[in-house]
Amino acid sequence: MNQEKQKIVLAFSGGLDTSVAAHWLRDQRGYEVHCLTIDLGNLGDLDGIRSRGEEAGAASVEIIDAKDTFIRYFIWPALQAGVVYEGRYPLATALGRPLIAKMLVDKAREIGATAVAHGCTGKGNDQVRLDVGVQTLAPDLNIVGTTREHSVSRDEALTYAAKYGITVRQTAASPYSTDENLWGRSVEAGVLEDPWLEPPEDVFEWTKPLNETPSTAREINIRFEKGVPVALDGEEFSPTEIVQQLSDQGGQHGIGRIDMVENRLVGIKSREIYEAPAALILLEAHQALEDLTLTKAQSRFKNTASQEYADLVYNGLWFSAHHRDLAAYVVSTQRHVTGDVKVRLWHGSVTVMGRRADRSLYSPELATYNKEGDLFDQSQAGGFIRLHGLPAQVQAQRQSLTGSDGDLLRLAAPENE
């Protein structure tokens, strides 16, 4: 037994790269390596992961099921906040990383490790999220980025694995780089690097192509309490079951495919494909319920906060005071976001068919066009509109909007001749 050996906790996926990393950290860097795999959903073959860690010479391999924690403390707050990066990406991968960082730190503390390691590339966002998470929670721990420090090609990794008897997963090597958890699946690289090229069908694993979706629609009633889904079609389910069911049903109906070019934190534009059926369904339904329960001012301001929130998650600042403050605001906005939303899943789209809230701000007595029961006093409208239009009227008179500046038709498009 070598007393001097420092312990390191490696974020371990069981794939080729982290298996090689485990061996390399032990052999080349002299660490006692402890592999930690966090199951955030869709992890697959747990026994295979364990045995590959052992083959790579890890002193221990631990797999933790963190699905429920992930949903309660990461997914639900993100749903309540309505976070979507650059208008499209529901942030599945980005939301998973701070939890992985936290669990790496917990494990390091438990066994007295002096460092943690991950196999993220040096060009992506994931390294930022893990590093900043660890740096924030445990500034004393060293962070080793095996891939970015010691870049190996796939062939080199395969040769290395063969040399040291590390089994490579039997599946045909995917031409893509993927990441999966309950909230979504991210796919990049390979032919996807050409943004003009239509994604080949083999990119998708969770969602059916439109020509294979059922001809009959599926309607689901989703019950929310304080902005969190609690029941489907009147039946209560655990958070994991709700997300899993909506993911399966949405996928069957071809819902959740996202193809975008996004701006990474490290300054690169990248083409990304996502599959996120449950996220798209829940975000749409949640928004419909907020439409009934928040005032115009609350909705407008929440939208602004939501973009700030999405950037913060994307950029790896989950464990920041700015996040805590924004989250407190979001939680406060959800006090009355309780009610039901009927959604229809059909041919690739999710459509809200109806919504009702326990404390809805929608007032039929004010909205109705029927004379009977109408409580809106139309005689007040004229005066209100005169005052509303007053500044525009005064400005037009004093600063001659209609004067030498010419043609009013061309007001917004002076050059479109």
Name the site residues for ligand ARG (rule: CB under 6 A): 93-94, 125-126, 177-179, 186, 188, 272
Q: Which of 17, 131, 179, 340 is catalytic?
A: 17
A 10 A CB-CB count for 28 gives 10
Contact present, 250 and 277 (Cβ < 8 Å): yes
- Is residue 177 annotated as a catalytic residue, yes or no? yes
Neighbours of 88 (CB within 10 A): 15
Give CA separation, 20 vs 45, 48, 121, 278, 307, in Å.
18, 15, 14, 34, 38
Find the shortest distance in angstroms from Cβ 78 to ligand ARG: 13
Q: Which of 50, 126, 185, 247 is catalytic?
A: 126
| Nearest-approach distance from CB 95 to ligand ARG, in angstroms | 9
Backbone angles phi, psi at 265, to 5 degrees: -60, -35
DSSP 8-state class, residue 72 = I
* Helix, strand, coil percent values for the chain (each to nearest 5): 45, 20, 35
- Nearer to ligand ARG among residue 171 and residue 416 (C-beta): 171
| Contact assessment for residue 249 and residue 350, using Cβ atoms and an 8 Å cutoff | no
Residue type, 261: V
Q: Which residues contact 179 (CB under 8 A, 6 or more apart)?
A: 92, 93, 96, 126, 185, 186
Pairwise CA distance, residues 352 & 307, whole Å: 23
Q: Under a CB-based contact definition with an 8 Å cutoff, are residues 181 and 96 in contact? A: yes
Q: Which of 26, 50, 52, 97 is catalytic?
A: 97
407 assigned to active site? no
Q: Which is nearer to ligand ARG, 265 or 331 (CB)?
A: 265
Residues 318 and 410: their CA atoms lie apart, in Å, by: 47
Q: How far is the CB of 22 from ligand ARG (least distance, A)?
A: 18
State the nearest-atom distance from the C-beta of 88 to ligand ARG, in Å.
11
Nearest residue (CB) to ligand ARG, 37 versus 125: 125
Say how far residue 123 (Cα) sits from the centre of its chain.
19
Phi and psi angles of residue 28, each rounded to the nearest 5 degrees, phi first: -90, -30
Instruction: List the catalytic residue out of 51, 60, 177, 320.
Output: 177
Both tokens assigned to 237: 């389910």
Instruction: Provide the minimum distance between the beta carbon of 204 and ligand ARG in the complex, in angstroms, as a whole number.
Output: 15
* Residue 139 CB, nearest approach to ligand ARG (Å): 24
Would you call 97 a catalytic residue per the annotation? yes
- At its nearest, how many Å lie between ligand ARG and the CB of residue 262? 6
The crossing angle, in degrees rounded to 10, of helices 296-314 and 277-293 is: 150
Residue with tokens 């009355």: 336
Closer to ligand ARG at the Cβ: 57 or 316? 316
| Catalytic-residue membership of 215 | no
In angstroms, the CA 185 to CA 182 distance is 8
Question: How many other CB atoms sit within 10 Å of the CB of residue 187?
Answer: 24
Q: Give the nearer residue to ligand ARG in terms of CB position, either 177 or 299.
A: 177
When the beta carbons of 147 and 306 are compared against ligand ARG, the nearer one is 147
> For ligand ARG, which is the closer residue by CB, 126 or 340?
126
Which residues carry out catalysis? 17, 97, 126, 177
